[in-house]
Structure 1
Amino acid sequence: MENADPTRADQIAPATDTPPRGLRLSGFGLVAVWAGRALVIATVAAVVASRLTRPTWAAEGWDSNGQPRDWLPNLAFVLVLVTGLVGQWLCGLAVPPSAAWREGDELVAATVVWRRRIRVPGALVVRFRAPGKGGTVHGAFVIGRGLRMLVLLSPFAVGGRSRIERLVGQRAPDTRGRAGVEYLVGFLWLLLTVAGVFVLGGLAVWWIGMFHS
């Protein structure tokens, strides 16, 4: 953990991107943003429709595994799980480092819901990492004034360490002790994410009425 103090010797030049990462996202970024918004709409629509039409699909019964035979509640459940897995990006809490940039002392991020800004000087930066397919995934919690938090983390790409260092304007030594702490923080964040998915899925199953009574 470290504070973004401009007087520290390990400060580096921050990233000052211009379009397409600044004022406009790249083509892939725009697709990801609109896909996230579409996923939220589709999930809400499927869950509400499943709830309202329960008498109809419940009449078809449940299979031997306890799953409804109708496709609608099953689709809603799958969408809820997917939404839960990427929920931190959908709600604007997390953003890929490639979708963030610096404007002076502010870290600006184009999230799925809106554009967020956090003043970096004085912010608490907590780095973490996790094993990924083909390498290590690097991330960071940036906690600004008023406990405003932004998670710099890509849901797909590995790496990202140098990009994050430029965004927060700091370069941290890559020692074994620091790596161990960062892996521990990443593991705890993963556990919290998985727990959130289970809770969200359980609430959806209960509200839709997928349990066979």
Structure 2
Amino acid sequence: MRLEPLEKEFYQLPTIDLAKALLGCILVKETEEGITSGYIVETEAYMGPHDRAAHSFNNRRTKRTEIMYGEAGLVYTYTMHTHCLINIVSCGVDEPHAVLIRALEPHEGVDLMLKRRPVDKLKNLTNGPGKLTKAMGITMEDYGRTLIAPPIYITSGITPEEIMEGKRIGIENTGEARDYPWRFWVKGNPYVSR
């Protein structure tokens, strides 16, 4: 039974609120190999032109960041080192904010995830932004897709008992932005990246 994708209006929340609201939701990716899904357990908010850690800082509008200037609920994928990372475009048109999905708890298609990304311990399968995309088959081909219809979408899931917040990860060279408490995670979930 397929769960229904969340409505477009869900993604129009303010970016910080969206980063928190995504926790517990289910990210789904359909491919020819099968369907994989997972509960979102960790996110980071990136607040556009005034956030030194955001790709759109100072309104840097490039081929890579162009989708961030689109409507909320679009997929912004990019490559960091050798990994594809997935973000959700938030805010409004020409307000280039995004939410990075940092970690998932596997839900459906675990065998397929393990085939794509063999690991000894299941908790290491999707406990990082590059790990989860590889396990789920999310690629640069997903750039610009809408999240309100297959092949990639988000459905309602479970409401976390407690949400934690802290500094974002891997943005040391961003001045004061490295200290903003814009990373959110489900307290005690073993799939949180750290």
Q: TM-score range by the shorter chain?
A: under 0.3
Give the TM-score, by structure 1 length: 0.22
Normalising by structure 2, report the TM-score. Answer: 0.24
Structure with a larger share of its residues in helix: 1
Greater Rg, structure 1 or structure 2?
1
